[in-house]
A = this chain, B = another copy of it.
Amino acid sequence: MPASVTISRRPAKTSPATDKRELILRAAIKLFANRGFFHAQVADVAREAGIAAGTVYLYFENKDDLLISIFERTMEQAMEEGRQALTHVSDPIERLRVLARLHLARLGEDRDLAVVFQVELRQSIKFMERFSSTLLQDYLRAMRDAIADAQRAGQFRQELSATFAAKALFGALDEMATNWILSRKRYALAGQADDVVDLFVRGMTP
């Protein structure tokens, strides 16, 4: 199972343009994580990426677009990864487990990215809504579907709303991620995925 959870960086289509975009996004993740979105200046991001400030605007609309692009790029990769990992997993409970592991593994392997996702992306209702209408539109749906499947299969109690249950599970995972970035202790975030799912599965079992 661990194999299916391993995050496999697909060899990106390495056009020069894609490379530079990527370079800038990585610099942005680092800066946003360490200084905060508002306090990180576009010029700082450019310097970190080793380019001129103006060049950023050849690849991104504006500063907000940097944050949004970090989100979208990461979500796309995660979704693709999720799809692949779930291809041959049919048991609903196992599917939940895979999703949870991927979720925490991705954040746990890049603390800066985790900070951007757990903190900076929640700057404002505006981002939150964008965030929640896609991440929770897709990720939560995947969870909800798995839960509903388990309910239909009699593995889970049926009186609880699958949507509600998915939110609760997501919330617990999300809290683990937030706690991890705020904690001074260095532990493996992904290791908590199974514990959370176990707790949840027991809570749902008839």
- Complex: A202 Cα to B200 Cα, angstroms: 9
Shortest Cβ distance from A140 into chain B, in angstroms? 9
- Complex: A64 Cα to B167 Cα, angstroms: 31
| Interface residue A119 (Cβ < 8 Å from any Cβ of B) | yes
Report whether B125 and A36 are in contact in the complex, using a CB–CB cutoff of 8 Å: yes
Partner of A171, one of B38, B39, B172: B172
Report whether A171 and B175 are in contact in the complex, using a CB–CB cutoff of 8 Å: yes
Query: Which chain B residue has the least Cβ–Cβ distance from A173?
Result: B171
Report whether B203 and A164 are in contact in the complex, using a CB–CB cutoff of 8 Å: no
Mask: chain A, 69-86; 1 = CB below 8 Å from B; 0 = not: 000000000000000000
- Complex: A69 Cα to B176 Cα, angstroms: 27
Q: Identify which of residues 137-189 in chain A touch chain B, using a CB-to-CB cut-off of 8 Å.
A: 160, 164-165, 167-176, 178-179, 181-182
Partner of A199, one of B115, B123, B168: B168
Known A-B contacts A164-B192, A173-B171; the reply to A36 vs B119 at CB < 8 A is no
Q: Identify which of residues 24-58 in chain A touch chain B, using a CB-to-CB cut-off of 8 Å.
A: 36, 38-39
| Interface residue A122 (Cβ < 8 Å from any Cβ of B) | yes
Known A-B contacts A200-B203, A203-B203; the reply to A36 vs B123 at CB < 8 A is yes
Shortest Cβ distance from A174 into chain B, in angstroms? 6
Number of interface residues of A (CB under 8 A): 42
Binds B, one of A9-17, A90-98, A101-109, A126-134: A126-134
- Complex: A179 Cα to B161 Cα, angstroms: 15
Report whether A160 and B199 are in contact in the complex, using a CB–CB cutoff of 8 Å: yes
Known A-B contacts A38-B124, A124-B119, A167-B175; the reply to A199 vs B195 at CB < 8 A is no
- Complex: A199 Cα to B125 Cα, angstroms: 29
Report whether A175 and B164 are in contact in the complex, using a CB–CB cutoff of 8 Å: no
| Interface residue A7 (Cβ < 8 Å from any Cβ of B) | no
Report whether B119 and A122 are in contact in the complex, using a CB–CB cutoff of 8 Å: yes
Report whether B115 and A125 are in contact in the complex, using a CB–CB cutoff of 8 Å: yes
